């Protein structure tokens, strides 16, 4: 209604409606309601463990004037939202014409990524917030609801991949809403989907990987993609591998490559496969029954991983992301 009245008044006052009723660029602080789940089983069953959580977010628009903006939700690392990382990439996305939404899932719950890492509900809060943000943006008249993408870094990269699973989407969004595209910067490689038709939402997924990332050996992703192909249910996943890149290559504070022994890593663990039935483990190219004791043991055997900033790889991976989003969300 507002836009109709604005167009009518503009045509009367200016003789034309063009250029006078477009959405204006700017920044706004918004909030949305999300939920907390104790583990992935509770999320898939819709059993939230607490009352609603209020998440404070920043919605920013590019300088270009448009009726509606394609939008990217940006999910943070284990360290939470930081201007130097998530804020920097969001600004680059806005230069390319995308609106951006940023927030901190950990601070919204009064905790930190360090405190949550390795717990059963570690990733579920991120996925819940991503879909809550999608529902909010889909109702905003300034946003092109059919072109909302999700990207993330490390922790957020796992969230971005998980959000592409149909079992997760349908548990958190009863309607048809889905993300138009997913981008994972240096994911941890904890979850995959059981190989079967319809396991993914159908939206394209881009995994950005470093060949020096000792938190996610490339062979782990290669074996997963081979598994789903062999089962006749290939995942809609593209990969880009950056030579010489370590985990967290976009984080400028990590000026020197260093090993962080206290961080939880699943590098020696098989992928947990999610599907409509019980979770499984990807072992020797096959889905085997999930064994929580065995998984806990593999977590304990090889903690820690290396991290290091790389200016050139950051620039290239952002460019690759923008190109992928532009292709994936072309009207």
CATH number at residue 189: 3.40.50.1820
Q: Under 8 Å CB-to-CB from 301, ≥6 apart: which residues? A: 268
Residue 15 lies in a domain: no
Would you say residue 16 lies in a domain? Answer: no
Q: Using pLDDT thresholds of 50, 70 and 90, give the confidence band for residue 25.
A: low
158 phi and psi angles, rounded to 5 deg: -65, -40
Give the model's pLDDT for residue 175.
Answer: 87
> How confident is residue 126, by pLDDT bands cut at 50, 70 and 90?
very high
More confident: 121 or 192: 192
Would you state the structure tokens that stand for residue 113, as one six-digit string?
């990524």
Does residue 56 form part of some domain? yes
pLDDT at 278: 87
Q: β-strand 305-307 against 258-260: which pairing, if any?
A: antiparallel
Note the pLDDT of residue 141.
95
Q: Please compute the mean of the pLDDT values over residues 216-235 and round it to a whole number.
A: 96
pLDDT digits (tens, 9 = 90+) for 267-319: 999 999 998 888 999 999 999 999 988 888 998 999 999 999 999 999 999 99
Q: What pLDDT sits at residue 323?
A: 98
pLDDT at position 251, please?
A: 99
pLDDT, tens only, 165-207: 999 999 999 889 999 999 999 999 999 999 999 999 999 999 9
pLDDT score of 84 more than 50: yes
Other Cβ atoms within 10 Å of 319 Cβ, number? 12
Q: Which two tokens stand for residue 11?
A: 């045509």
Structural domain includes residue 214: yes
The one-character DSSP state at 21 is: S
pLDDT tens readout for residues 5-21: 343 333 433 343 333 34
Q: What band does 58 get if pLDDT is binned at 50, 70 and 90?
A: very high
Residue 24: the pLDDT is 53
Q: What is the pLDDT of residue 51?
A: 74
Taking residues 42-70, what's their average pLDDT? 91
What is residue 12's predicted lDDT score, i.e. its pLDDT? 38
Q: How far apart are CA 220 and CA 213, in angstroms?
A: 12
- Token pair 């590019």: residue: 62
Q: How many domains does the chain have?
A: 1
CA angle centred on 248, ends 151 and 110, rounded to 5°: 70
CA distance 213 to 225: 18
Give the mean model confidence (pLDDT) for residues 101-124: 92
- Predicted TM-score (pTM) of the model is 0.91
Q: Within a domain: residue 319?
A: yes
Give the residues across from 54 on adjacent strands. 33
- The predicted pLDDT at position 2 comes to 37
First to last CA, the chain: 24
**pLDDT at position 167:** 95
Does a structural domain hold residue 181?
A: yes
* Residue 11 belongs to some domain of the structure: no
What is d(CA 235, CA 58) in angstroms, rounded to the nearest whole number? 32
Strands (E), the chain: 27-34, 53-60, 69-75, 99-103, 143-153, 181-185, 191-193, 205-210, 237-242, 258-260, 272-274, 280-283, 286-289, 305-307
Does 20 reside within a domain? Answer: no
Burial (CB < 10 A; 0-12, 13-18, 19+), residue 234, is middle
**SS3 assignment, position 146:** strand
The pLDDT value given to residue 294:
86
- Separation between Cα atoms, residue 125 and residue 102, nearest integer Å: 15
Residue 4 has pLDDT above 90, yes or no: no
What one-character DSSP code corresponds to residue 288?
A: E
Residues spanned by the domain of 267: 25-328
Contact predicate 152/74, CB 8 Å: yes
pLDDT band of residue 97 (cuts 50, 70, 90) is: very high
Confidence (pLDDT) at 119: 84
């Amino acid at each position: 209604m507002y836009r109709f009245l604005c167009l009518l008044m503009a045509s009367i006052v200016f003789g034309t409606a063009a250029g006078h009723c477009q959405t204006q660029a700017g920044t706004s602080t918004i909030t949305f309601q999300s939920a907390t789940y104790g583990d992935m089983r509770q999320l898939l069953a819709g059993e939230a463990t607490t009352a609603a959580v209020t998440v404070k977010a920043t919605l920013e628009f590019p300088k270009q004037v448009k009726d509606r903006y394609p939008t990217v939700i940006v999910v943070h690392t284990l360290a939470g939202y930081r201007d130097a990382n998530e804020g920097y990439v969001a600004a680059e996305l806005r230069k390319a014409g995308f609106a951006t939404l940023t927030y901190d899932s950990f601070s919204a719950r009064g905790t930190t990524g360090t405190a949550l890492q390795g717990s059963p509900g570690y990733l579920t809060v991120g996925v819940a917030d991503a879909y809550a943000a999608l529902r909010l943006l889909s109702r905003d008249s300034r946003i092109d609801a059919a072109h909302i993408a999700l990207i993330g870094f490390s922790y957020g990269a796992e969230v971005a991949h998980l959000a592409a699973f149909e079992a997760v989407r349908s548990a958190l969004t009863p309607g048809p809403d889905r993300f138009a595209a997913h981008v994972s910067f240096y994911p941890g490689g904890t979850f995959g989907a059981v190989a079967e038709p319809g396991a993914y939402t159908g939206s394209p997924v881009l995994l950005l990987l470093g060949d020096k990332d000792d938190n996610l050996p490339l062979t782990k992703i290669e074996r997963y993609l081979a598994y789903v192909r062999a089962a006749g249910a290939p995942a809609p996943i593209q990969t880009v591998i950056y030579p010489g890149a370590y985990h967290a290559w976009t984080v400028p504070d990590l000026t020197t490559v260093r090993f962080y022994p206290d961080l939880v890593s699943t590098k020696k663990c098989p992928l947990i496969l999610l599907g409509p039935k019980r979770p499984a483990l990807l072992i020797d190219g096959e889905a085997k029954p999930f064994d929580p004791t065995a998984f806990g043991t593999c977590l304990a055997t090889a903690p820690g991983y290396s991290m290091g900033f790389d200016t050139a790889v950051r620039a290239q991976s952002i460019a690759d992301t923008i190109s992928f989003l532009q292709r994936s969300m072309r009207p």
